[in-house]
Amino acid sequence: MTSVVTQAPERKTSQAADFDVLVIGAGFSGLYQLLCLRDRLGLSVQVLEAGAGVGGTWYWNRYPGARCDSESHSYCYSFSDELMREWEWSERYPGPAEILRYLNHVADRFDLKRDIRFNTRVSGSHYDETANLWRVSTDAGDVLTAQFLITAVGCLSSANIPNIAGLDTFEGRWYHTGQWPHEGVDFSGKRVGLIGTGSTGIQAAPVIAETAAHLTVFQRTANYSVPARNAPLTPEFRRYVKEHTGEIRRVMHSTVNGHPWPVADRLALETSPEERQALYEKAWETGGLRFRATFRDLVTDKAANDTAAAFIRNKIREIVKDPATAAKLSDFDHPYAAKRPPIDTDYFETFNRDNVALVDVRAEPIDRITPRGIRTRDVEYPLDIIVFATGFDGMTGSLLRMNIRGRDGLSLAKAWAAGPCNYLGLQVAGFPNLFMVTGPGSPSVLCNMPVAIEQHVNWITDCIAHMRMNGLKRIEPKDEAMDSWVAQVNAAANATLLPQAKHSWYLGANVPGKPRVFMPYAGGMAHYRKICADVAARNYEGFALSA
Ligand SMILES: Cc1cc2nc3c(=O)[nH]c(=O)nc-3n(C[C@H](O)[C@H](O)[C@H](O)COP(=O)(O)OP(=O)(O)OC[C@H]3O[C@@H](n4cnc5c(N)ncnc54)[C@H](O)[C@@H]3O)c2cc1C
């Protein structure tokens, strides 16, 4: 069940290059891209990965409380029925250890590791027009060449550590959740400061609070969160998944966000207040991202969204005993789900513990980090450990850190100085034969990502197969196709409430100096899939292909 062209594997490397394809990154994207190109098209492929193992996000993010928010039976590959049937998830939302076991299983099952070079960070990638090759340099000083370069570097893989004065003077330990030590961190008896209340901070706070002597949560943005209701999967549910792989995949491929449930076809504002309340209550009890699918106008109509916001605000006030803390936790400055919607296990309940305090840094800004802790405008909070749950230089960070240069030395950083522009989130004019898996301008982070990743990898694989079958050597988008796509990405975002979250990393607002551009494609995964398929069917309309 895949759209990928299948050919008898026959290893052939073009004369001048070390490999047909270089792939950067060995997470969900890089592993599947390797499998498709090597085993289905018979190309020579080398994957370069900075980490010491496969797994990407789950290799790096091992902080306490880390879990995926997608449900396990959909947070996996769907290209192989056998793989779907043979793998057993233990919980509704697995943590890093289990996801890493899964990705290692995939890598071993398909014998992928022999073509991955670990502990290898790509530091430069230059296109050589005369030879029609990409020259990729690594931090070890090696240079490798290939006709095609595919970035599978992840949307959330460049840790964002805020530039707070005095960090270098701090006498305790500090950590970023996205670069968590593999041996773990012992919080027992420690005074911990946690900066950030996005999905990660919301996952980490309850777990850190269990062992720390004291936890201070520094909140800039009050965040909506819905209970995850994590639990072991029942034998009945596991059986259901195995017996319905095709149906589950069909739903995932037909919905806006790639999750295995449809968005309800009803409007919040056309539902009576009593029924609406009952539906929200039911969704709250069910838990997880399904809450967002209660009504189809929640992310497009502010008045509809306000009903969800009011419901969550009331829940927070019911749960959190101290009214002042509850007020800070529910003082939202953006519509529900306009930022990545977190789901949690006892996040709001954590603020009822005696050893947990909340600091609202909008009212009491952080002034600096001192040798002893964090000083706000008003107080110094003594700390032994600071945890930065401050997210990532999302979507473009890892791409721009690789010093990618296309034709005539044009740097990607320069081409994207005003924000990322590309065609379909896949390719940039001036950078021939460079493909980006889940690049900005594609649904990526607005989607259950394995669905977005498989769609991109299949499309890229089909495209390369098409080129080889037709003797084509070079592909890049036309300027007008790129301009039109950027306009479509902007229009899709503006048709939703998402750009209203002014501090959102979707907009690049968490990184000083980053252009404020809404980066992912918000027009829906199913619609995007069709656009890409139509482009390919019309002989790669909008791309310039040459022999
Ligand atoms: C805490 C957290 C929770 C998440 N939860 C969910 C969820 O519930 N559902 C969901 O759909 N998505 C979730 N995501 C998004 C997640 O990133 C994707 O689901 C998925 O793992 C992305 O896979 P990937 O292979 O594209 O990228 P990644 O997993 O990020 O892998 C990219 C790899 O590229 C490597 N790399 C980057 N730059 C270089 C370089 N210069 N040289 C060499 N190697 C490089 C990195 O080391 C990394 O291993 C979450 C992300 C985070 C951070």
pTM: 0.96
Pick from 93, 92, 118: which is nearest to 104 by CA? 118
Residue 490 CB-density burial (10 A; 0-12 exposed, 13-18 middle, 19+ buried): middle
Ligand 1, residue 392: give the atom nearest the CA.
53
- Residue 12: per-residue pLDDT: 44
Least confident of 16-25, 332-341, 504-513: 504-513
Distance CA 413, CA 300 (A): 32
Ligand 1: distance of its center to the CA of 411 in Å? 24
Ligand 1: distance of its center to the CA of 209 in Å? 27
Ligand 1, residue 258: give the atom nearest the CA.
11
Ligand 1: distance of its center to the CA of 381 in Å? 33
Q: How many CA atoms lie within 13 A of 120 on its CB side?
A: 22
- Residue 72: per-residue pLDDT: 97
Ligand 1: distance of its center to the CA of 178 in Å? 10
At 180, which amino acid appears? W
Pocket of ligand 1 (CB under 6 A): 24-30, 48-51, 56-57, 59, 61, 66, 68-70, 75, 121-122, 152-154, 156-157, 200, 398, 402, 437-438, 448-449, 453
- Residue whose Cα lies nearest atom 47 of ligand 1: it is 50
- The stretch 413-442 carries a mean pLDDT of 97
Phi, psi of 521 (to 5 degrees): -85, 120
Percent of the chain with pLDDT over 70: 97
Contact 339, 506 (CB under 8 A): yes
Q: What is the pLDDT of residues 61-99, one digit of tens each?
A: 999 999 999 999 999 999 998 999 899 999 999 999 999
Ligand 1: distance of its center to the CA of 544 in Å? 30
Mean pLDDT across the chain: 96
Ligand 1, residue 61: give the atom nearest the CA.
1
Does the pLDDT value for residue 227 go beyond 60? yes
- The stretch 517-534 carries a mean pLDDT of 97
Counted residue by residue, the chain has a size of 547
DSSP strand E in 314-440: where?
A: 343-344, 356-360, 366-369, 373-376, 380-382, 385-388, 404-405, 434-436
Ligand 1, residue 121: give the atom nearest the CA.
42
- The stretch 292-307 carries a mean pLDDT of 98
Distance CA 65, CA 344 (A): 9
Structure tokens at 148: 């095609």
Ligand 1: distance of its center to the CA of 253 in Å? 21
Q: How many CA atoms lie within 13 A of 252 on its CB side?
A: 27
Residue 544 CB-density burial (10 A; 0-12 exposed, 13-18 middle, 19+ buried): middle
Ligand 1, residue 447: give the atom nearest the CA.
11
- Residue whose Cα lies nearest atom 4 of ligand 1: it is 68
More confident residue, 378 or 300: 300
- The stretch 237-259 carries a mean pLDDT of 95
Ligand 1, residue 401: give the atom nearest the CA.
41
Which residues are CB-neighbours of 278 under 8 A, at least 6 positions away?
Answer: none
- Residue whose Cα lies nearest atom 52 of ligand 1: it is 57
- Residue whose Cα lies nearest atom 9 of ligand 1: it is 70
Does the pLDDT value for residue 533 go beyond 70? yes
- Residue whose Cα lies nearest atom 41 of ligand 1: it is 122
Q: Helix H segments across 80-138?
A: 81-86, 96-109
- Residue 122: per-residue pLDDT: 98
Ligand 1, residue 437: give the atom nearest the CA.
26
Q: What is the pLDDT of residues 382-415, one digit of tens each?
A: 999 999 999 999 999 999 999 999 999 999 999 9
- Residue 16: per-residue pLDDT: 81
SS (HEC) of 247-309: HHHHHHHHCCCCCCCCCCCCCHHHCCHHHHHHHHHHHHHHCHHHHHHCCCCCCCCHHHHHHHH
Ligand 1, residue 138: give the atom nearest the CA.
42
- Residue 7: per-residue pLDDT: 46
Distance CA 209, CA 185 (A): 13
- Residue whose Cα lies nearest atom 5 of ligand 1: it is 68
Contact 226, 288 (CB under 8 A): yes
pLDDT band, residue 13 (cuts 50/70/90): very low
Ligand 1, residue 451: give the atom nearest the CA.
11
- The stretch 502-513 carries a mean pLDDT of 90
- The residue to mutate among 24, 118, 156, having the most atoms of ligand 1 within 8 angstroms of its beta carbon, is 156
- Residue 110: per-residue pLDDT: 98
Ligand 1: distance of its center to the CA of 159 in Å? 11
Ligand 1: distance of its center to the CA of 545 in Å? 30
Ligand 1: distance of its center to the CA of 61 in Å? 9
- The stretch 90-115 carries a mean pLDDT of 98
In the block, tokens 């019911």 appear at 318
In the block, tokens 């290692």 appear at 104
Q: What is the pLDDT of residues 193-209, one digit of tens each?
A: 999 999 999 999 999 99
Distance CA 220, CA 339 (A): 14
Q: What is the pLDDT of residues 465-491, one digit of tens each?
A: 999 999 999 999 999 999 999 999 999
Residue 166 CB-density burial (10 A; 0-12 exposed, 13-18 middle, 19+ buried): middle
At 66, which amino acid appears? A
Ligand 1: distance of its center to the CA of 270 in Å? 39
Ligand 1: distance of its center to the CA of 444 in Å? 11
Ligand 1: distance of its center to the CA of 440 in Å? 14
Does the pLDDT value for residue 212 go beyond 50? yes
- Residue 37: per-residue pLDDT: 98
Ligand 1: distance of its center to the CA of 366 in Å? 30
- The stretch 14-32 carries a mean pLDDT of 92
Query: What does the buried/exposed string (b/e) look like for 506-526 if buried means 16 or more CB atoms within 10 Å of the residue's CB?
Result: bbbebbeebeebbbbbbbbbb
pLDDT band, residue 15 (cuts 50/70/90): low
- Residue whose Cα lies nearest atom 16 of ligand 1: it is 57
Work out the number of other CB atoms within 10 angstroms of the CB of residue 483: 14
